[in-house]
Amino acid sequence: MRAYGTELASPLMLGTALYDSPAVLAASVKAARPGAVTVSLRRESAGEQAGQAFWELVRGLEVPVLPNTAGCHTVREAVTTAQMAREVFDTDWIKLEVIGQGDLLQPDVFALVEAARILTEEGFKVFPYTTEDLVVAERLLRAGCELLMPWGAPIGSGRGLNNVFGLRALRAHFPEIPMVIDAGIGRPSHAVTAFELGYDAILINTAVAKAGDPVSMAEAFRLACEVGRLASEADPMEERDMAVPSTPTLGKAVFAS
């Protein structure tokens, strides 16, 4: 996938939260071979030694870093967090999250558009965590975003792609815009479906970090991304309502009774 002029080595993006240990995180990243890893920046821990050690670990993974504004609920909070992330990680990439509803961690799309506008004006390359709403997508693109990250399902739910119709419509309406399914993917089969719908990449975290064997699951998702992308590029057959024989009847031997 190409994001803001940069070709990512893999269509898989991997989150770095919730792992049981740094060693498990590092092994999972090695198995997944992601095109980028995401990392949250908490303002309250910006100067703490533990936070600095974690950020050094992430840098040592030798994978492009996509900082995010996870946990932010206002435009001001998200913008400030993004500005700090740029200083810490020396990148103008930012995964923009502005949460508006606590139970489902649904994006506040009104604040999201405003924060995206402010950040793009400041030179950020914004990766917005959004819904599959076509109007919101249009507003984000007008605000300066060149990429969209619609949710598959609520963060950490593992439910897969809740609104396949909406996601298919979004993909069809903006065919040239890079799109990443972000949030809700719980199984490698969900990832394959995302690519078959025409999406360019996926972002996962909980599905790997909280698997019984995170390293094996990371590898499974890597393979699923390869399978899904290959299947999408092969142009799968369309679904039909009626059966179509795979063996032609023309020229078939006829036995007289």
> Which residues are annotated as catalytic?
95
In single-letter form, the type of residue at position 7 comes to E
Q: How far apart are CA 89 and CA 120, in angstroms?
A: 18
**Alpha-carbon separation of residue 222 from 28, 63, 217 (angstroms):** 11, 15, 9
Q: How far apart are CA 204 and CA 19, in angstroms?
A: 13
CB 40 within 8 A of CB 229: no
Q: How far apart are CA 14 and CA 188, in angstroms?
A: 13
In single-letter form, the type of residue at position 156 comes to G
Q: How far apart are CA 31 and CA 175, in angstroms?
A: 31
Helix (H, G, I), strand (E, B) or coil at 80: helix
Three-point CA angle 15, 116, 106, nearest 5°: 55
Three-point CA angle 196, 200, 202, nearest 5°: 90
Q: Quick one: which of 149, 84, 82, 147 has its CA closest to 119?
A: 82
Residues 6 or more apart whose Cβ sits within 8 Å of residue 4: 93, 125, 146, 147
* φ/ψ of residue 49, rounded to 5: -65, -40
